Structure 1
Amino acid sequence: MTESVQRESAVLVHFTLKLEDGSTAESTRANGKPALFRLGDSSLSAALEQALLGSKVGEKRNFTLAPEDAFGSISPDLIQYFSRRDFIDAGEPEVGAIMLFSGMGGSEMPGVIREVSGDSITVDFNHPLAGHRVQFDVEVLEIDPVLEANDANSVG
């Protein structure tokens, strides 16, 4: 087991994400289920990985990342307009609702209904935290944890 977080480490962490107004956007502590991340697999931003490097088990770190270093800036290209006809099967869309949309190749993408105006419905496919400075409170629970043998990815 590695003593500190390295560039290719898997880390089991509890984290809380807060917005500039102090409100909590997400917390693994709320449901008591820590998150497992692997550095170097492109699931985390380079700035977030950099902030975790060198952490030791039991260590708590608190840092703030700018939008471009956290969940990205808001991209106008990810705001799309649909006709009410497109929602016939899904029912009446409500502002603020998150809906799944079929993307290219059959993948599903979540979108937030931003506006319903007459026959036009505005859907935002940006990450909900895009454009926000985010404060991270992270506690490292384990580094390179031993995963259970019955993991779905294991070959038996």
Structure 2
Amino acid sequence: MIIGPGSTVIFHFDIKLSDGSAAESTRVHNKPAKLQMGDGSLSPAFEAQLGGMAAGDKRTFTLAPEDAYGMPNPDNIYYVDRSKFSADAPAKVGMIVGFAMPDGSELPGLIRDVVGESVTVDFNHPLAGQTLTFNVEIVQVIN
């Protein structure tokens, strides 16, 4: 079966940054990703790269930031009072912290800066603003 509109695709992917370093991979835990073509979960540019592929096919492609995870949005950067962090888990630059949302879900935020009593938390996707190279291998196509 060939990937087309509405196909369900099970695939492995590796993501590399522009400097060649690894950013993410489904192969680490051998858990492929699952995608419903056209559901909006991935960019149209990413989906266009998968179109026409079949199980067993492999492809490498590079996407600009706006076609991958988008550009960082300054509205997704918040300043939180240091007192919101516990003594057991103090705010440290580089930490990813889960923040409870009103609906019970958890939103990860990256601590960018700690100055005095102010903690800068970035809720943009960590790969936002990056040009990324994707290495994909199609495992299964369900039409």
Distance 1:36 1:88 in 2: 37
Of 75, 93, 100, the match for 2:91: 93
Mark the structure with the bigger radius of gyration: 1
SS at match of 2:103: helix
Q: 1:62 to 1:94 in 2, by over 3 A?
A: same
Work out whether 1:65 is the aligned partner of 2:63.
yes
TM-superposition CA deviations, 1:62-111 (whole Å, max 9, x none): 10001011001011111110111222476311111111112343432110
- Percent pairwise identity: 50
> What stretches of structure 2 of length at least 5 have no aligned partner?
none
TM-superposition CA deviations, 1:10-31 (whole Å, max 9, x none): 1111110000000010111222
> What stretches of structure 1 of length at least 5 have no aligned partner?
146-156
Q: Which structure shows the higher strand fraction?
A: 2
1:70-149 alignment, distance < 5 Å: 70-88=68-86, 91-144=89-142
Distance 2:108 2:88 in 1: 14
Q: Which structure shows the higher helix fraction?
A: 1
Q: TM-score, normalised by structure 2?
A: 0.93
Q: TM-score, normalised by structure 1?
A: 0.86
